[in-house]
Amino acid sequence: MAISAKAGADDAGASMAINFRLGTRGSPLALTQAAMVRDALCAAHGWAAETVALVVIRTTGDRVQDRPLAEIGGKALWTKELDRALLEEEIDAAVHSMKDVETIRPAAIRIAAMLPRADVRDRLIGADTVAALPAGAVVGTSSPRRRAQLLRLRPDLSVVTFRGNVDTRLAKLAAGEAQATLLAAAGLDRLGRDGVGRPIATDDMLPAPAQGAVGIEVRHADHRAALIVAAIDDPATSACVAAERALLAHLGADCHSPVAALAALSGAMLTLRAELIAEDGSAWVEGSGEGTDGALVAAELAADLLARAPAVVRQLFQP
C-alpha cells in the first residue's frame, strides 16, 4: 500500500509515493537509528530517502521519566505503542534498540532483521575506571544489571536512579546529581559522542543481552514487509542476539533480573557468555557455552547457570 507525501522544498508541487513506513520512538537516539534503517533500505532497494517515512510514536517509557522501568511496567513501556501502531497497520515496521525489547513478543509480530551490531560495551562517564571512583561515590543508572555489576565491583558505591535519554542523563551528571554514570557505547557513538566516557572491557563488565543491536519488527503475516526488511539483515548479529534472547527466555528473566550476556560467532561456532548477579552484587554465577545451534547453547547454559546459582540469585529468575 502506498500513500502520498510531499517530495520536498525543491519540488513543492510534486508528490512522491511512500514505499515504506518505519515506526520509531521520538528520542534523538531512536530517530538516529530509524534513519540508519531508512538509509539501509534505500541503499538495498534503490529508493529515494523521501519514499521511506519515519513515523514517530510516543511511548509510555518516554513520558514517564521519574521512576525505574521495573516499577511501572518494564520494557513493554518502550514497545506497546509501537506494537499497537504496527498491528493496526499505521506503520509497516518498527525500529527498536533490541536490548529494550521484552523477550516474549506478541505472536502476530516478528523480528525480521537487524543492522550490523555496534560496540557492545558500556562507557563509564565521570571517572577513568570503576576502581578510580572515590570511596562512597554516587553513580547514576536505572539498569538493574549495571547496578548489580557496580556493587559487585565496588560495594561501597551509592547507586541512584538515572532515567531519560542520553542528553538528560549527561545533564543530570553535569548538575551534580551523581559523580558518574554508565551509558551504552553504541548509543553514544550513534549520536556523535564517541569521545564521551571510557569504555569498560567486556571481561570486566559483560553487557546487557542484545546491547548495541538495532532490530526491525514487522507483522508476522506481512510477507511484503518481511522481504523488504530481510534485504538489510546482518546474519551474524541476528544469530548472536537470538541466542542472547533465548537465554533470557530460558532463565525466565524480566526487567528486574540482573543478567548480562554476550554471544560471538567464529565461522559456524557460536560462543555465549553470561552472568547472573544478586541485586546488591553480593553473589553471582557465571558461565559460557558453545556450539553450532545457538538456541541449544542458550538452553544448556541457562540450565547450568540456574543449577549453580546461589539461592539469592536463583530467586530472581522464573524459568
Active-site residue, from 100, 119, 222, 254 = 100
- Distance separating alpha carbons of residues 248 and 302, to the nearest angstrom: 8
Cα angle for residues 273, 275, 277 (degrees, 5° grid)? 170
> How far are the Cα atoms of 10, 17, 152, 240, 293 from residue 298, in angstroms, in the given order?
53, 44, 24, 10, 9
DSSP string across 198-241: EE--TTTS---TTTT-EEEEEETT-HHHHHHHHTT--HHHHHHH
**Is 100 in the active site?**
yes
DSSP 8-state symbol, 26: S
Residue 2's CB is within 10 A of a number of other CB atoms, namely: 10
**Nearest CA-CA partner of 36 in 109, 98, 114, 99:** 114
Handedness of CA 138, 30, 105, 77 (dihedral sign): positive
* Pairing relationship of beta strands 15-18 and 93-97 according to DSSP bridges: unpaired
Which residues neighbour 292 within 8 Å (Cβ) at sequence distance 6 or greater?
268, 269, 270
Name the grid cell of 148. Answer: 548489580
What amino acid is encoded at 188 in this protein?
Answer: L
- Distance separating alpha carbons of residues 4 and 21, to the nearest angstrom: 12
- Distance separating alpha carbons of residues 217 and 97, to the nearest angstrom: 11
* Pairing relationship of beta strands 93-97 and 138-140 according to DSSP bridges: unpaired
Residues marked active site are found at 100
